[in-house]
Amino acid sequence: MNVNDMYRICQFAINKAQNGYLTPSDFNLIINQAQVSYQDYLLGEFQQYQYGRPQARISYSQNEDIRQRLTPLILQTTLAPNTTTGIAAYPANFLQVDAMWETDGLHRIRFVPQDSLYSYYNSEIDPIVSNPIYLLQKDQFQFYPKNIATLSGNPIVSYVRSAPDIVWAYTTVSGRPVYAPTQTGAGVTPTTGSQQPVWYNVDILEIITRALKLIGLNLQDGMVEQYANQVTQTGQ
């Protein structure tokens, strides 16, 4: 399902409800808000945590199905910490750590909160030289030992990135916006061209449902799927 299908389904639902017209700029705004909301839901919303049970009802680490939904957004890269400071910048569009391990031997590098650093750093039972750790700071990782790159190679991080923007671009023909799939340049708005969703189709329907709720249409997923089938069959 591409961004044009998403826009057509939203327009179809709004027309069915006689709820006005959804402009391209409004669609681009709400669909990305809905996408952020859905990704937050899969990662585990803070609002879902309960006192005495610090675990969200939904979280990507809980089971294979939820993790599968996020696989288009899980990337892997090798970091290059400064051998003196032990600091490495976050990858582009970094959102959350999935896993961290050493290049040599693929041993896990553990996350440690700042208030526990003293205990881990000075542990004689579990020395950081053989069991390195990392902290999260603003826009960067802090590794201990600081010369981790020299001792065991540059760390490898698997991480969840922010979902890239979804954009419905168009040209204006006889005063009406017409979908511009890939072309950019003169006459195309936005000038960056259309940008497709990275999600699986089942997740795209969830995002559309959330977008419609932002507009004021509280539809169930089944109804949105029915509209999607109608749009596909009738070419609405």
Query: Which of 4, 71, 10 is closest to 207 using CA atoms?
Result: 10
User: According to the model, what pLDDT value does residue 72 have?
Assistant: 93
Task: Enumerate the β-bridge partners of residue 176.
Answer: 173
pLDDT at residue 171 greater than cutoff 80: yes
pLDDT confidence bin for 183, thresholds 50/70/90 = confident
Give the pLDDT score at 49: 53
Residue 187: which pLDDT band, with cuts at 50, 70 and 90?
Answer: confident
Q: Which residue has the higher pLDDT, 236 or 231?
A: 231
Query: pLDDT tens digits, residue range 106-152?
Result: 789 999 999 999 998 888 888 988 899 999 999 999 999 999 999 88
Q: Sorting pLDDT into bands at 50, 70 and 90, what band is 53?
A: low
The answer to whether 44 and 59 are in contact (CB under 8 A) is yes
| DSSP bridge partners of 89 | 140
Return the pLDDT at 139.
Answer: 94
For the chain, first and last CA: distance in Å?
Answer: 15
Query: Which whole number is the average pLDDT over 71-75?
Result: 93
| Confidence grade of residue 79 (pLDDT, cut at 50, 70, 90) | very high
CB 79 within 8 A of CB 155: yes
180: closest CA among 24, 41, 9, 39?
A: 24
pLDDT value at residue 55 = 55
Task: Please return the burial class of 171, using the count of CB atoms within 10 Å of its CB with bins 0-12, 13-18 and 19+.
Answer: middle
94, 104 contact by CB (below 8 A):
no
Distances in Å between the Cα of 36 and the Cα atoms of 39, 41, 127, 161, 223 are 5, 9, 40, 11, 22
Strands 176-179 and 87-89: unpaired
d(CA 70, CA 206): 13
pLDDT cut 90: percent of the chain above it = 51
Structure tokens at 211: 């977008």
Backbone CA torsion sign across 138, 83, 111, 77: positive
Query: What pLDDT shows up at residue 3?
Result: 95
Structure confidence by residue, pLDDT tens digits, 2-39: 999 999 999 888 888 777 788 999 999 999 999 999 99
pLDDT confidence of residue 114: 92
12-21, 149-158, 221-230 — which one is most confidently predicted on average? 149-158
User: Which tokens sit at 49?
Assistant: 């945590």
Higher pLDDT residue, 186 or 53?
A: 186
**What is the reported pLDDT for 103?**
86
